[in-house]
Each structure stands twice: as structure tokens, then as C-alpha cells.
Amino acid sequence: MSKTNIVVTDRKAGEDVHILDIQGEINAYAENELMDAYTQASSNNARWIILNFSDLEYMNSSGIGLLVTMLIRVQRQNQKLLAFGLTDHYKQIFELTRLSEAIIIHDTETAALAATNGAHS
Amino acid sequence: MSTPELDSKATRTRQDAWAAPVSKMTVGQVPEGAMNLNVEGRQPVSPLQGFGQLWQKTFRVRLSGLEMSPEEVMRIWRENFPKFQPPENRFYPQMTGISPGAVVLINAKVPPLPGMPSMLPVSTGVMVLYADEEMFTVMCPEGHPLSGWNNFRVFEEDGTVVAEVQEMSRASDPLYELFNRFLGSSAQQDRIWTHVLTQLAAHFNLKGQVTMTKTLIDPRVQWSEAKNISKNAGIRTMFYLLGTPFRWIGNSFKADGK
């Protein structure tokens, strides 16, 4: 298994909305990439963090643990965490691990952005 | 360069590393000697559903000089998982062993107070959430002392094979949190994982030095989850055992009435 095989890019998608585009694998070695991107988004006053899983190649259970850590940080900063682009397989994993109870999952980027707009209005 | 056929096979295998989706745990055949009191029908719980502070504890042992791949070490660890536990912590895997979706029943004994011998019984279990050639993860059911999961991983670092246990969990309810913070349960849990890694090293005739790092991920408690105490496996096990004589008498009457 490869070690670090992930690129996470922070993309501003609105006044206080940032999308983290995830490309590659989320495993135990992805912590720095993932958290650095989150920190960058937060330092730019993000209130909404949206995870884009469209280019996710694989995620193991260590990866799920990283998402829990990120979720707690997000909650402590009074931010909201959303996600889109998950395959059916990973949607099921989110349900099994009960992450879906805390991370709002949308099918598309448009739907995720609409959710942030709806909350703004 | 890999062929698309091989890539497809690899992807399928890695996706199979996850347990199939379930809303509640099913035990099936109970291994001989095990008690299935607090697992059947219980929902798996993540660190998000617990009550207490959220901790991540990482225990590691470097298997210096071992001429094996991480995959081989992991295979041996999975096969001998119950054997490496301390005597007061009996694990009962199903016939399928440590495989995705399998339930492992646990009959444990915990000390009532720090320094006292382990004498309070707790019947619980875990579900294998994920298992591949380099790691596996078990997830706790409702009522378990901890809400969350444990990762067991083997990897290579600077040419040395390293075995790791990483616990990410909260105490499930206020009573467990009290025991964790003030009555030594957290330290008891730390001793269990230290024991497991020491035994794993000893299996390879190595004297392993176990290191531990603790990170407090969330210092807050979640009062909304205080209700979890209604499913506390320790309390339910205690009442079940106290009721044993009465069940025995009741069953005798039923048998006599036939």
C-alpha cells in the first residue's frame, strides 16, 4: 500500500464557503494534507467547509478517524461540515460509522452550495 | 504497469475490507464459554455518539530485527488476536475470525477501584469494521465502556516493522466517564493495549518497548448522550449475574411442571 497518496486543494466558493477538493487516498498518512488544507480554509474565515470526494480513490478506517478529528475541530470553531461526491459505497460507510449523522451529505457541489446559500438567507 | 483487470480486482478486494452496512449487530452462533448479553441487536457506535471527552491514544512497539513483512505480522496478529489479550480480558471471535463484519464477544473483568484486582464482570463485544492486509479496526456497540473504535496496524518505519494500536473513543456514559477520570479505568485500558503489544513482540521472541501518546481531541462532554447509561454493559452484566440463582430456580420449576 502506498503511503501519502493524496492532494487536498482549498477552493473558495463563496464569501465564507470553502471547498476542499480531495484527490487520492485518505489513510493514516493523509493527516497533514487534510488538516493543512482545513487550516488554510479556516484562516480565510470559512464558516462552511465542504469536502469534495469526487476524486477519492480509496479510504480506509484510519481515514474515517481523520474525518472525525476534522469534524470535532469544525464543531469547536462553530463551522459546518458538508460533503458531496461520495460513491454509494462510501455513503454506506458513512452510515455504518455514523458520520452521516454529523456531516451533511449532498450528491453534487451545486446541492451542497445551495444548502449553504439556504442557510444564509 | 498494471492491467485494468488487475486494477479492478485490487479495487474489489479493498472495498471488501469494509464490513457490510448494518444498523444493528448480529452475533449468530455464540462461541463456547462466551456470554452474549450486550451485543445482539445493539447499534455500532462511533466516537460521535459517546458521552465523555474524546481521546486518541496511540500505542506502538518497534519490532526491531524482525525479518517479516508488515502483512505477515498482521496475519499472525489477526490469527492470534485473543491469545495476546490479558487473562482478565477474554475475546471470543466467531469461526470467521477477524474478518469484516464479524463480531468478537468479550468477557472482561475490571477492577472496582484503582489498585484492586479485576473482579467486576463486563460482558460486551466489538464488530470488525474494517480488515485488510495491513490493519483492522473494531467498533464498539452501544453499552460498551467506550464509544468509538480501535485500529490495529502494522507498518514499516525506517526499515523496522512497527505494530500499533490506536484507540479513538469517548466513555459511553457518565458512569464510565467517572470511572475513566477518577477510578483508573482509563489507565487499565492503557495497560491492556501495552500488554497486547508486548505479547505480540514476545510471540516473535522480541522484548518490545511500548510507547504511548495521548491526544485530547475534544475536552467537552456530550450531555445529550448521558442517556446511554440505560444500556451500560457493566450494570446489565451485574444484574444478569445477580439474577442467575432466580433464573435457575425458575427454570427448575418449569422443568418440574412438565
On whether the CB atoms of residues B154 and B197 are closer than 8 A, the answer is no
The ipTM of this complex is 0.89
- Lowest average pLDDT, out of B23-27, B28-32, B51-55, B164-168, goes to B28-32
Q: Is A2 on the interface with B (CB under 8 A)?
A: no
Residue A5 CA to residue A16 CA, distance in Å, equals 29
Within 10 angstroms of residue A102's Cβ, the number of other Cβ atoms is 17
C-alpha cell at A83: 460533503
Q: Enumerate the H helices of chain A as residue ranges.
A: 31-43, 61-76, 88-96, 109-120
Chain B touched by A87 (CB under 8 Å): no
Q: What is the mean pLDDT of residues B129-146?
A: 94
**How many angstroms separate the CA of residue B126 from the nearest CA in chain A?**
13
Interchain pair B139, A101: CB under 8 A: no
Q: How far apart are the first and last CA of chain B?
A: 73
B129 vs A61, A101, A102: nearest CB? A61
Measured CA to CA in angstroms, residue A99 lies from A92, B44, B117 at distances of 10, 12, 38
Residue A29 near chain B (CB below 8 Å): no
Q: Per-residue confidence at B5, pLDDT binned at 50, 70, 90?
A: very low
> Which residues contact residue B68 at a Cβ distance below 8 angstroms, ignoring those fewer than 6 apart?
B161, B204
User: Which DSSP helix (H) or strand (E) runs through A56?
Assistant: strand A48-59
Residue B258 pLDDT level (bands cut at 50, 70, 90): low
Q: What is the pLDDT of residue B185?
A: 85
What does the pLDDT average to over A98-102?
Answer: 94
Among residues 44-73 of chain A, which lie with CB inside 8 Å of chain B?
58, 60-62, 65, 68-69, 71-72
At residue A90's C-alpha, the angle toward residues A86 and A92, to 5°, is 120
Identity of the residue in B11, B18, B48 whose CB atom sits nearest the CB atom of A68:
B48
**Residue listed under C-alpha cell 445551495:** A114
The pTM for the full model equals 0.88
Check whether B11 has a pLDDT greater than 70.
no
Confidence grade of residue B89 (pLDDT, cut at 50, 70, 90): confident
Q: Specify the pLDDT at position B28.
A: 83
Instruction: Return the amino acid letter for B72.
Output: E
Instruction: Report whether B229 contacts B173 (CB < 8 A).
Output: yes
How many angstroms separate the CA of residue A112 from the nearest CA in chain B? 22
Q: Mark yes or no for CB contact B46/A99 under 8 Å.
A: yes
Q: Nearest Cβ partner of B48 from A60, A93, A98?
A: A98
Pick from B10-24, B30-44, B136-150, B160-174: least confident:
B10-24
3-state secondary structure (DSSP) of residue B105: strand
How many other β-carbons are positioned within 10 Å of the β-carbon of residue B190?
17
Mean pLDDT, to the nearest integer, of B198-209? 95
Chain centroid to CA A69: 11
Q: What is the DSSP letter of A7?
A: E
Considering only CB atoms, A89 lies closest to which of B15, B46, B217, namely: B15
**Is residue A64 a contact partner of residue A55, using CB atoms and an 8 Å limit?**
no
What domains can be seen in chain B, in order of their start residue? 38-218 (3.30.530.20)
Residues of B in contact with A89 (CB under 8 A): 15, 18
Domains and CATH numbers, chain A: 6-120 (3.30.750.24)
* Nearest chain B CA: its distance from A96 CA (Å): 6
